[in-house]
Chains A and B, each alone.
Chain A
């Protein structure tokens, strides 16, 4: 299975594709503790063991001022793991005191970027705090996105964040880089120092805007979208204590751990209180009462409800499968998520994390305090971005929006419309792709689409190792690109195209299926034989942990917006098949089990393959007789192809040449390598087309469609058979839309319609020919009985009636005898089944008992 598994407890709401391709981290729904209101909150200001006590008066006292309730402060960032000391700071650094100037000491309107007199430096660097403040200030106050309105973006966002009473404030690293490369470099190189300064500045700015105390304006800056996103195996010691961005898949999350950030101790003897900060993961209990008068030993007791705790969670992330070189195993990295980032990522999610890479000494024996020679590495998470886009069909975000709005001309403008996303490049945002690469990708796609031979090239690129079957491949190609689903008032029409392949064993049906399954992300491959109704749809199960009933999606729901490949369709159980009726037309699945009633989206294209009854295709029977699928299901397939194994000298030679060279020197010679688009590119191209291109019918194309449709119908009219139905018309529209999509063209041309009609005729010619008349007859598909058949059956009933009346005596006639008699008379051979069916219609006059037909009295 290629796609990420949804977590086991995926509820109805979680199963369909999330509405946006990349959700940013802040959980706006989650209520943030208001400052001063709760005990579980951001505590006072101590940063990475750098004491503030020697600093500027007013801030240095903050910790001491704490007496009754913990006071929140702006400079502490627990999510940077403030209480774990990075090894880069030698232990004696605590002795060297560094002050961070209070944010309000810098004139907010300062435009002299570096010329500030207050030269307070970040420890170990020549980086002055005031310079960072000034530059960040300028960034927030003046940054505007290229080509947008005059209001500075982050000022607006800050106001919005404050209005929503949120704490997390996302800053696009790309924006910061565009605006001020130095500032960006500082943020990446010294995150633990600069980020708290940013927070202070944000608080100060919002305080200025709202006219209140900065202490009450808690904002935490969360930088994301760094210029470089690494894979886990590329992390190296040089990244330690830097701000980094890595992508991967979450494999495990721990429970929420209360992380004590400060402890309040009270003397049991005299009531004197003492605060102890969490220092490097440890809270030191005072052994002696600090009260000079008391001095009682071991009398200090922790007061839990006046200590402060933070949520903390350990998350493990593993490399994405596509980032692992061949012959290697995936690497993992541990991460600490804190506060509102807790529980944001679930096992199975693909995420891109921005955070500070840390290394911590490991004590192999906890009794010993010395750091051993080995380090444990982890990331203190600053920002989590869920990354659905590594999966092609999730790029449907654009399409999703499109369904509610009218189709916009440019999809990138569409993504920019979403205000909360802050990420105009959400489209095509795969795990590690920069904007430039994305532009390059787009250019490649546009160039591909402009190729006049694109249709043939695409067809040649589908399963290039499979021979012939060009029209089948074209049909599958249409399925991959898909039509546009439309929402009419009160009704929805599907855009998904369903294809059925019927054919002899060994004509590479399964290969085609597995190829499509690989090409289509969210492609699910199941075998009809092995899958029960449960496997194909959603089922109810009991969560082993919570003991709650949960819905677990099956193949069809899992392939929502994808392609569900069902092999051995004919072997599927009836109950599973009946589920498909709903899926293939309404694109939903209804589940009513164990008290849970739900309708799940299953916007799935179905690609099914079936073997004929008796495993070899009998050319004397119709398709329906050959596969024996219910006609109601058959009619839901837009295209039905017959794959028959026919010997053809020319193609055999070509195949032989290919195989010989494959076994000889290792390179298969298909003869068309130059034209073949590599599978990766093809996959992305399809995703891109589906996400950005929504073709509409031109009036000419619409006219052509109706003309062709009328022609197809009238073909049948003349012979009193139906050769086209409204379902076929819908199929034709979908096919022509898919064909336009291949060219990334927003209009369906007359040529597209022509090709769609041709494709359908080819498919139908093979499958809906009435073997007796050699004509196309939609009735074969629609009802399973051709018009010729039906008239023949009517004749048979008449014949039988007269026959029975003439021949059947009081003892009746044996069926076998009757069959012989009928066959002796008739020009066409009548089967026993046909005879029995006819007899059933004669129920009013004849009765069948133990193989003997008697006339009713």
Chain B
């Protein structure tokens, strides 16, 4: 419990007890906390930092956080250790402010830490996010109780300034307390601060009111926007104190010390008034010191990358067959009873980037579902507002979200494309990466709804958005724009396009499949209720397991496939290298979707049958 409410004390006692001469090393902090976290009872008590709980957690308490690495900022040099007046060394790790004042002219040691901007995982499906939100709320109880009981340490009170009045009858009184606490914190670090320093609701409101007219006056220019206005809710700035390898867009779980520094908001205000030179020198620092009301600071003690969302134990064969059949049935229902389309959509759900070659990614295919232009589904589109998903698009998105851990649905309409850049880019002013919808964690299903596309002029942004989408579909890479060059980052996001007629992005579509619904297409509400009614957990586990399977082709199968491919080309001159790629990809995915890690003749035949059904649908279209 102590480790949760005052982790810094634990760190400092470990530091004080370190063997002599072990300057700058970890002093066993990580082992200590890793050991504690291994105890499930303890781990459950550690509060979870989310958008909801951010304002309820006490300063400098131990928290857990789960999010995606959205940006990696310049490393920061800080006073790692300093010598007290009595000659002993003290550590300043895992904290923004020191409890004791550094003596004037004290000897210091400089250390380096890496700031990471963590954001809630984008496009996360509700079924994946909801249990964690519940856990976060539950975890609060422990801290709140401790906070009320122990008025012990300054800065360890729960500051309830943000709690809606209903939650706390004595909101006003609470506000006073919180302000008093923040004063104490400041004094302890040798800071003199005015009363208007806090993140308390009242002062924030005041500040917002003050900022309002100013923004209007400056004509709404980019620099006048409130600092960190572009940040998604629930993000946090995590500091990494060791050399652990972290990659952009990794989903990570962090255990660390929560920290709020109210002065930062004031520093940002100052910055906006300052001239160019001062701003250029400071903006690096400010980029990683966002107002803590927007992005709380988290000093990471433990950090681990999250790989799988669902426990991906390979289920037994009959279970796979059953789960596969159920998943197919579910998708077929959404697609109006079109079983072939359901098969292809299922393959999308088990697709992942198997590996990469210089030009392309092996293992994913861009799927184009073509709704008939004169179908009822199409007719319904005409009344749809252009910025939103079509009815069928929303239904498909709901279905994908019900099965996949992450699903991003984007309407591919002219206004939506022109509105803003979708590719991630670094902002000149803030020195931070501005995500854009295409900054995605691995294993995110992307659904592009092209049925809402109407005639119009694409501007430069729109064209670049389209190009970025094509690049994603072709190579599973997204080019991040860093002012003077763009840097390609690998992505792993299977793309499905829903269109009327052939897709606008037909060059990069691997498989185009006209829909032939036999029943009316479902709408989003129906899909949601179907998903809610059924127990989809086994299906999700099955898909996650199938997706992570390794895959290989046995030598005798290789011979057979060579025969097949070369023979097919002899028979039909329309078969080319592209067809080979498509077939190999589909066959691989089909085998995976059956829970098999090797290709068999049966699956190959199944793939050819699917492809035959698909070309049969395409043929009359070509003739028309």
A residues near B (Cβ < 8 Å) are 1, 4-5, 87, 90-92, 233, 236-237, 240, 249, 251-252, 254-255, 257, 314, 316, 318, 321, 324, 326-334, 347-348, 359, 362, 364-366, 368, 370, 373-378, 465, 467, 506, 508, 511, 514-515, 645, 647, 649, 652-653, 655-657, 659-666, 668, 679
Contacts and interface: CB of A to CB of B under 8 A. Distances in A.
Contact of A647 (B433, B489, B552, B573): B573
A257 B193 CA distance: 32
Interface string B51-87: 0000000000000000000011111111100000000
Interface string B576-597: 1110110011011000000000
Given A251-B483, A326-B490, A663 B576 contact: no
A329 B433 contact: yes
Contacts of B72: 328-329
A333 B357 CA distance: 33
A660 B285 contact: no
A656 B562 contact: yes
A318 B483 contact: yes
7 contacts: A4-B485, A255-B276, A318-B484, A334-B284, A365-B270, A511-B359, A647-B569
Interface string B179-212: 0000000000011110000000000000000000
Contact of A366 (B71, B270, B487, B588): B270
A364 B263 CA distance: 7
Interface stretch (B91-99, B140-148, B411-419): B91-99
B261 to A, nearest CB: 7
A326 B246 CA distance: 10
B359 A327 contact: no
B49 to A, nearest CB: 22
Contact of B482 (A330, A375, A514): A330
Nearest to B69: A327
A668 B580 CA distance: 14
B264 interface: yes
**Of A92, A334, A347, A679, which is in contact with the most chain B CB atoms at under 10 Å from its CB?**
A334
Contact of B577 (A255, A348, A508): A508
B608 interface: no
Given A375-B77, A668-B357, A656 B191 contact: no
Given A365-B266, A373-B98, A663-B588, A656 B566 contact: yes
A365 B588 contact: no
Given A329-B248, A506-B576, A506-B578, A659 B485 contact: no
By Cβ-Cβ distance, the 6 closest A-B pairs, closest first, are A327-B247, A664-B553, A656-B565, A375-B77, A666-B355, A237-B110
A237 B112 contact: yes
A316 B428 CA distance: 11
Contacts of A467: 577
A328 to B, nearest CB: 6
Contact of B580 (A316, A333, A659): A659
Given A370-B190, A664-B553, A249 B484 contact: yes
Given A316-B280, A656-B562, A660-B584, 12 more contacts: A4-B485, A92-B105, A254-B277, A314-B277, A326-B490, A373-B102, A374-B285, A376-B282, A465-B357, A647-B570, A659-B584, A679-B358
A376 B110 CA distance: 12
B506 interface: no
A660 B484 contact: no
B562 A348 contact: no
Given A237-B111, A329-B480, A666-B362, A364 B267 contact: yes
B565 A652 contact: yes
Given A318-B483, A329-B71, A331-B75, A252 B584 contact: no
A596 B490 CA distance: 44
A663 B553 contact: yes
A187 to B, nearest CB: 22
A110 to B, nearest CB: 38
B78 A374 contact: yes
A105 B531 CA distance: 90
B354 interface: yes
B105 A90 contact: yes
A251 B261 CA distance: 30
A368 B192 contact: yes
B589 to A, nearest CB: 10
Contact of A5 (B79, B289, B484): B484
B552 A665 contact: yes
Contacts of A659: 565, 580-581, 584
Contacts of B250: 327
Contacts of B587: 663
Contacts of A364: 261, 263-264, 267, 289
B42 interface: no
B9 interface: no
Contacts of A679: 358
B110 A660 contact: no
B404 interface: no
Contacts of B427: none
Nearest to A236: B112
A662 B362 contact: yes
B107 interface: yes
A316 B581 CA distance: 45
Contacts of A348: 484
B478 to A, nearest CB: 12
Nearest to A378: B281
Contact of A365 (B102, B267, B561, B569): B267
A514 B471 CA distance: 13
A328 B248 CA distance: 6
B431 interface: yes
Interface in B565-623: 565-566, 569-570, 573, 576-578, 580-581, 584-585, 587-588, 599
Contact of A334 (B281, B485, B562): B281
B558 interface: yes
Q: Which of A327, A329, A375, A652 has the most CB of B within 10 A?
A: A329
A330 B71 CA distance: 10
B108 interface: yes
A664 B581 CA distance: 12
B247 A362 contact: no
Interface in B471-500: 480, 482-487, 489-490
Interface in B239-284: 247-250, 261, 263-264, 266-267, 270, 276-277, 280-282, 284
Given A329-B482, A376-B284, A665-B552, A660 B190 contact: no
Contacts of A668: 357
Contacts of A316: 280
A257 B275 CA distance: 11
Interface in B83-138: 92, 96-98, 102, 104-105, 107-108, 110-112
Nearest to A316: B280
A104 B193 CA distance: 54
A657 B558 contact: yes
Given A249-B485, A318-B484, A368-B191, A332 B74 contact: yes
A334 B110 CA distance: 19
A252 to B, nearest CB: 7
A124 B358 CA distance: 54
A663 B584 contact: yes
Contacts of B485: 1, 4, 249, 321
Contacts of A314: 277, 280-281
Given A327-B248, A659-B565, A4 B357 contact: no
A240 B110 CA distance: 9
Contacts of B73: 329
A769 B104 CA distance: 89
Contacts of A347: 484
A508 B247 CA distance: 33
A5 B483 CA distance: 10
A831 B174 CA distance: 93
Contacts of A666: 354-355, 362
B78 A375 contact: yes
A467 B581 CA distance: 14
